[in-house]
Amino acid sequence: MNNVLEGLEGVECEIDDLLVHGESQEQHDSRLHSVLQRLQESKLTLNRDKCVFSVSTIKALGHVISSKGISPDPDKVKAILDIPVPTNVAEVRSFMGMVNQFNKFTSHLASKSKPLRDLLCKDSVWYWGDKQNESFNDLKKCLISVPILALYDPNKETKINADASSYGIGGVVLQKQENNEWKPVSYISRALTDTESRYSQIEKECLALTWACERSSDYILGKSFSGETDHKPLVPLLTTHTLDQIPPRIQRFRMRLMRFNLEKMTHVPGKQMYTSDALSRLLKPFTKPDCCTVPEDDMNAFVETVINSLPVSDKKLKEIIEAQEEDEVCKKVKQYCLEGWPDKHMVPDAVKSYWRERGELTVVQSLIMKGTRILIPSCMRLNVLDKIHEGHLGITKCRERAKQSVWWPGLSTQIQDMVQHCRTCAMHMVNKPEPLFPTSFPERPWQTLAIDFFKCENIDYLIVVDYFSRYVEICPMKKNKTATEVCRVLKSIFSRHGIPERVKSDNGPPFDSGEYLHFANEWGFEVRHSSPKYPQSNGEVERAVQTIKRLLKKEKDKEKALLAYRSTPLSCGYSPAELLMGRKIRRETV
């Protein structure tokens, strides 16, 4: 835009906003005509609804600009003006912390704040009179005036610090000045709704940052900035953790932040964040918040979706919540989640193992969760371990299955002990066979399949394996294993999952018959045969046969064994069912 309007006088361009000004109406109109003509030549279109013409006063960049000069936009300093009169020493101390933060920018604050500072003396008696009231109002005016309040400059380094209290949230937009000092550009705050007040402390802190960024989008949209919080566990949740590792509400907040270029997230001790801390605390509790809140219906719907996607029935979920409410450790964890975690040395020994995970522990619809995993109370853990080991999978597979839905301290170690001491697993443990040859990897699911026969407990099966997802289908066969029977089974499987591009098999009679080759030609897939008498060249199906045979021997219910295999994550972090279908298939884990 600067290039388009280069050379025109009386035009200010800030990102996509244009300001045209003149000392007289005639000069203004002439300059406006030149701007419109240049835009027309460049084939640029203005948004009619956002245009304002021929006015003497206008709001821009957080300030009101008029012939009288520049003054703060009332909306940007409303949070300061709305701070109520303190009613006790704690509220005065919080307010003075904010005032002292900006004391270096002006020499007037020290003298004007004396009546309030006297209230903070050790032996002073609480008294609020005319002098204190006058001092309080004068200080608020100073906070929203030059030289404390700075004019926004899009070229200066910008940061937002935000904080939350039990009943309010506050934030400040600050910019780095030429002398390397940070000055406020805008103050914002609001009370929490009844629903938000029941969030855990880390969720309130994340809400504060999200709301502050959305409310200050005029300053930060389209440019990089940094964020500051005094809640240290929140930093990794917004930076290094993946979305599926973090609690549902924080997932939602983080997704809302994705439209901003939040370059860096920093922890700042609370004592250095006086302004946003004071704005969040110096509010009348339970006052009605403004309209610019995060939509609660949206948030609740998202959380509901996450809860419903857990592999657990509603009945079992209710049992877990009841068990958590009766468990003394869970009750203490829930209290800390809602009220804030103390320092580690103040946490009871029974709860210390939860302290390091405090950043991911939240309470969602009365359910304690670590990220998107349910915290299982001690009385239910043995049953859950049995469910995790259903199908008698190995240590790694069981750990991956647990990561999908459940958690408690020491779970990984307990899974290892359980599998190592499982008699069924020990009985069916096999030595590693000769290495299998790798084959070229397909580009998408169900593109390349491998098929073969295998026998388990005197029953012949046809196994079909997808090379991409490792999803397995098995079907019992008649003893003669004819090409007709093979074609019938494959037609049934293809009707569910679609026709692949190629199918690999050995040179057995059913797969080398004219009937099978005719079926392949009619249905439009390529037939590939492995080397005769050398099954290792069709390695994927040989590996799958070994795995499935082990599962079928260990598990009495064959369908449950297949369900366990299909729903357990592979080394890539996704289960065969997810890779093939694009969704998690439901199975009971608890």
Residue 589 lies in a domain: no
pLDDT of 286 strictly over 70? no
Average pLDDT rounded to a whole number, residues 145-166: 84
Local structure of 359: helix, strand or coil: coil
Question: How buried is residue 364: exposed, middle or buried, by Cβ count under 10 Å (0-12/13-18/19+)?
Answer: buried
Q: pTM for the whole thing?
A: 0.60
What share of residues in the chain are helix, strand, coil (percent, to 5)? Answer: 45, 15, 35
Instruction: Express as a percent the part of the chain with pLDDT over 90.
Output: 32
Range of the domain at 218: 158-300
Q: Do the bridges between strand 459-466 and strand 448-456 make them parallel or antiparallel, or are there none, so unpaired?
A: antiparallel
Mean pLDDT estimate for the chain: 84
Buried-exposed string 525-546: b where 16+ CB fall within 10 A, e elsewhere: beeeebeeeeeeebbbbbebbe
Do 195 and 281 share a domain, yes or no? yes
Residues 260 and 342 in one domain: no
Residue 371 — φ and ψ, nearest 5°? 65, -120
CA 135/CA 116 separation, integer angstroms: 7
Q: How far is CA 190 from CA 91, 169, 184, in A?
A: 17, 6, 18
What per-residue confidence (pLDDT) applies to 289? 47
> Is the CA virtual torsion 22, 28, 34, 40 positive or negative?
positive
B/e letters for 285-313, b = 16+ CB within 10 Å, e = fewer, are eeeebeeebbeeeebeeebeebbeebbbe
**Whether residue 377 sits in one domain with residue 282:** no
* CATH number of domain containing 367: 1.10.340.70
Q: Distance between CA 206 and CA 225 in Å, rounded?
A: 17
Q: Is residue 68 part of a domain?
A: no
Position 62 in a domain:
no
Structure tokens at 475: 């079907």
Q: How many domains does the chain have?
A: 5
Closest CA to 275 of 68, 57, 96: 96
pLDDT digits (tens, 9 = 90+) for 334-369: 999 888 888 888 999 999 999 988 888 888 888 999
Weakest mean pLDDT among 372-381, 453-462, 492-501: 453-462
Residue 292 has what pLDDT? Answer: 44
336 touches 351 (CB < 8 A) = yes
Q: What are phi and psi of 289, to 5 degrees?
A: -75, 165
pLDDT at 432: 53
Tell me the backbone φ, ψ of residue 92, rounded to 5 degrees: -65, -45
Please name the residue ranges forming H helices in 404-498. Answer: 411-420, 423-427, 483-497
Q: Which residue has the higher pLDDT, 26 or 296?
A: 26
Quote the pLDDT of residue 288.
47
Angle 381-388/395-403 helices, nearest 10 degrees? Answer: 120
What was the pLDDT predicted at 5? 85
Q: What is the DSSP string of 240-276?
A: TS-GGGS-HHHHHHHHHHTTSEEEEEEE--GGG-HHH
CATH, residue 263? 3.30.420.10
- Indicate the residue among 254, 281, 300 that finishes a domain: 300
Q: Are 486 and 475 in contact (CB under 8 A)?
A: no
Cβ neighbourhood burial of 430 (10 Å; 0-12, 13-18, 19+): exposed
**415 and 465 within one domain:** no
Q: Which of 59-73, 223-237, 265-279, 437-451 has the highest mean pLDDT?
A: 223-237
> Which residue type does 565 have?
Y
* pLDDT confidence of residue 287: 46
Q: How far apart are CA 339 and CA 250, in angstroms?
A: 17
300, 333, 364 — which closes off a domain? 300
Give the rounded distance of the alpha carbon of 361 from its chain centre. 14
User: Is a pLDDT exceeding 60 seen at residue 433?
Assistant: no
pLDDT of residue 502: 92
Same domain, 257 and 315: no
Q: Is residue 153, in this structure, part of any structural domain at all?
A: no
Q: Which residues contact 331 (CB under 8 A, 6 or more apart)?
A: 324, 325
pLDDT at 281 over 90: no
d(CA 442, CA 471): 14
Q: Does 90 fall in a domain?
A: yes
Rg (CA), the chain: 33
Give the CB-side neighbour count of residue 525, counting CA atoms within 13 A: 23
DSSP secondary structure letter of residue 510: G
Tokens of 303: 């959380």
Within a domain: residue 567?
Answer: no
Q: From CA 464, how far away is CA 54, in angstroms rounded?
A: 74
In sequence order, the 6+-apart residues with CB closer than 8 A to the CB of 428 are 392, 550, 553, 554
The pLDDT value recorded for residue 431 is: 53
Residue 432 lies in a domain: no
pLDDT tens, 291-336?
444 455 666 666 677 777 777 888 888 999 999 999 999 999 999 9
Per-residue tokens: 466: 């997808």
CA 425 to chain centre: 38
With H, G, I as helix, E, B as strand and everything else as coil, classify residue 568: coil
pLDDT one-digit tens code per residue, 180-200: 988 888 888 888 888 888 888
- 545 assigned to some structural domain: yes
Say yes or no: 318 and 354 in one domain.
Answer: yes
